[in-house]
Amino acid sequence: MAFILRTLAQKSRDKHPDSNTKAVKALSEDQRVPMLQRGVKLAMLRNLRADLSELDRTDINSGQFLNGTHTTDSATDWQEFNRDLDPFSGKACSLHTGASFVETMIDAGLMHDPVTGAPYFSSINTFVSYSWRGPGASLSDLITSIEDALAAKGFGVSLRLHVLTLTRRLQLHIL
C-alpha cells in the first residue's frame, strides 16, 4: 500500500483542512531539522518508487511529483498547485507542516523502512544533478539511475536530491 504518500496525504488533510493551496507557516530555520541532516537514503527512495508504482505514477517527472500530475510546465506549475487536484504530490503531502518533504516524513514518524527497519535519513554526502522535466526524466527513472550508479560505485550513501543543473544525465557528486 503506497505507505509514504498515503500516510502523508491523510495527515495533511487531517491537520490542515482549511486550504488546498496555502501551506501552514513553517517553523523558523533554527527550529527545523538542519539542512545537512536531511539526507535521503536509498531505502526511502526505493519505498517512494514503490509508492509511485502502486499509484500508477511511474511516468511523472520531478515537477509533477512536487506540484501535481496535472501540471505541465516548470514556469507555471507552482501557480497550478492544488491539493484537491493531486493529494499525493510532494507539496500536498507537506502542506500541513510548511516544511520540506523530508521534515514532513520525520514529523509523521516515517523514519525507517517498515519491513527491514533500514533508516530513511542521514547526513548529506551526495548531491544529484538531474533534469526537472522532459523526455526520460521520470522520478522513478531517476531513483533507478541513482540506485544503479551507487551499486556500480559500491556506495551505500545518503542522498539529498538537489537540482544543480538541468541535464539529462545523472551526475553524482560525492563529497
pLDDT digits (tens, 9 = 90+) for 7-48: 999 999 999 998 988 888 888 888 898 888 888 888 998 999
How far is the C-alpha of 84 from the C-alpha of 36, rounded, in Å? 32
**pLDDT confidence tier of residue 170, bands split at 50, 70 and 90:** very low
**CB neighbourhood size of 40 (10 A):** 22
**pLDDT confidence tier of residue 164, bands split at 50, 70 and 90:** very low
**Is residue 161 scored above 50 in pLDDT?**
no
Tell me how long the chain is. 175
How far is the C-alpha of 127 from the C-alpha of 92, rounded, in Å? 24
pLDDT at 116: 93
Q: Which residues of 134-169 are buried (b: 16+ CB within 10 A; e: fewer)?
A: eeebbbbbbbbbbeeebeeeeeebbbbbeeeeeeee
pLDDT at 126: 73
pLDDT digits (tens, 9 = 90+) for 77-134: 888 999 999 999 999 999 999 899 999 999 999 999 999 999 999 888 777 766 666 6
Are 107 and 113 in contact, with CB atoms under 8 Å apart? no
Going by their DSSP bridges, the two strands 39-41 and 158-161 should be labelled as antiparallel
**Is residue 167 scored above 50 in pLDDT?**
no
